[in-house]
Amino acid sequence: MRFSVRKLSTRRRHPLAGIVVLVLGLVVAGGLYSAFAPKPATAETTTSQDVEVGRELYLVGCASCHGKNASGIETQSGGNYGPSLIGVGAAAVDFQVGTGRMPLAQTAPQAPPKEPQYTDEETRQLAAYIASLAPGPAVPDEEYTDISGKSDEEIAEGGEFFRTNCTACHNSVGAGGALGDGRYAPPITGVEPRHIYEAMLTGPQSMPVFNDELLTPEDKRNIIAYIEKIDSAPQYGGAGLGGFGPVSEGLVGWVGGIGILVAFAAWIGANTVKAKKKCATTTPLGPTERRATRTPCRPGRERRLPPGSNRTTTAIPSPTPAWKPTRRGRPTTTRRWRSGPSDRWRRSSRSPCC
């Protein structure tokens, strides 16, 4: 027994003992990581026929911008007319083509989502061809995007990840927001879970890449569950106004609130007590005679006829109207007056109002 212990102690002090222990430790650590580490998303099994059909679709609809070999096309200024697709993976193709962003209708700082131009089968074949060029992120299986059965604790954890990594661009409720150089963060409410997962894997356009080392597949599922939760949550405070916060709320406050106050002030000014102007009226005395009477326009000012001049008016047919507007827009009346017993006629054109 003493010999065995002495022999083991001697071998332990051998110069190679430390290296052997280090190698054993690395092997054990690697085995444990392979057994318990989260598995990456894997794509469906593709065949060589899918790759061939995908290449034909690529040459027809994509090669004009990305090149025949998917290596991109450089411009004379040194930029890329279409970026290289080698190594982007099937997930990038499924996201860009499945959301209608590709093929791009015209050159723009950012590709907007629109109605897809390819069917699901054609999109899968295109993704198979691009995936055959070089390794890249694969299209996630349904188990990575299934959020059914998520508890409130997991949804709350997904909300923490979302507020930490996503709200700076996509808003706290996923409504999107403006970025620099004509770019913007699109709204992510109502988007399929598969496309949200693919966006986090590939980082399209201005979005950073959140690989499995930064956010595990379980963390991504929690984020997707939180997005679905806020998309279906009721608006407890009234109208959501798009979820843009003080921008839309301030606009409604100024346009709506101040507009109502201005309209109310105008209504008050139009309905205050004020004197109403009354035009001259005539009192019929007979079938052919009328006495000219005038009503003052303002209280306290009464126009009276001279005393002793019993002026009367005789209705004389005239082709012209009795009232006609003047140059200043005030109506005038034209009458023939006869004073006393004399036969002198005078033509008077005066305004009936003061």
219-267 pLDDT per residue, tens: 999 999 999 998 887 776 666 666 666 777 778 778 888 888 888 888 8
Q: Where are the beta strands (DSSP E) in 100-207?
A: 177-178, 184-185
Most confident segment among 21-25, 126-130, 321-325: 126-130
Asked whether the predicted pLDDT for residue 134 surpasses 50, the reply is yes
CA angle 210, 216, 219 (to 5 degrees): 95
Q: What are phi and psi of 345, to 5 degrees?
A: -105, 140
What residue ranges of the chain are covered by domains with CATH 1.10.760.10?
48-133
| Cis peptide preceding 299, ω within 30 of 0 | no
Higher pLDDT, 283 or 139: 139
**Domain made up of 48-133: CATH architecture:** Orthogonal Bundle (1.10)
The class of domain 142-233 in CATH terms is: mainly alpha
Q: What is the pLDDT of residue 18?
A: 72
**pLDDT-based confidence at 43, cuts 50/70/90?**
very low
Residues 94-118 have pLDDT tens digits of: 999 999 999 987 777 888 899 999 9
Tokens of residue 210, six digits: 């959140």
pLDDT classification of 332: cutoffs 50, 70, 90: low
| Residue 205 exposed, middle or buried by CB count within 10 Å (0-12, 13-18, 19+) | middle
